[in-house]
Amino acid sequence: MDIWGVGCVFFEITTLIPLFPGDNETDQINKIHNILGTPPESVLNHFKKHSVNIDFNFPPKRGIGINKYLTHVSAECQDIISKMLTYVPEDRISSKQALNHPYFKELVEQETKIQAKQSLNNFK
């Protein structure tokens, strides 16, 4: 769930609005389904095994998609946020994969240049 949370925060920083502003758990789940759609039956069955308070018999819903809210950002930004907000944890982007995502390419290149410059200065 950590990368999922990062995706939610990343979205909020990018758009300045909360992604799933539910009033309670059920409302929040409905907001998630409105955007991402209802998860596959296998995912719901997995959630059912680990839940005591929520009924996971949600009606199938096709979400409107996250990119509808991200039209002002680059395709790379849309892609990384979408990969962070994948229902199945095994299919979700890992932190290592996220750091190597093209969205961060320019930042990584700048960091590499700074480190190389510092190494040269330390050598002198």
Domains and CATH numbers, the chain: 2-123 (1.10.510.10)
Q: How far apart are CA 5 and CA 24, in angstroms?
A: 17
Q: Residues 36-70: pLDDT tens digits?
A: 999 888 888 877 777 766 666 788 899 999 999 99
SS3 34: helix
Q: Which residue has the higher pLDDT, 120 or 92?
A: 92
Query: How wide is the angle at C-alpha 109 spanned by C-alphas 16 and 2, nearest 5°?
Result: 45
pLDDT value of position 43: 82
pLDDT for the residue numbered 38:
92
Q: What is the pLDDT of residues 72-99, one digit of tens each?
A: 999 999 999 999 999 988 899 999 999 9
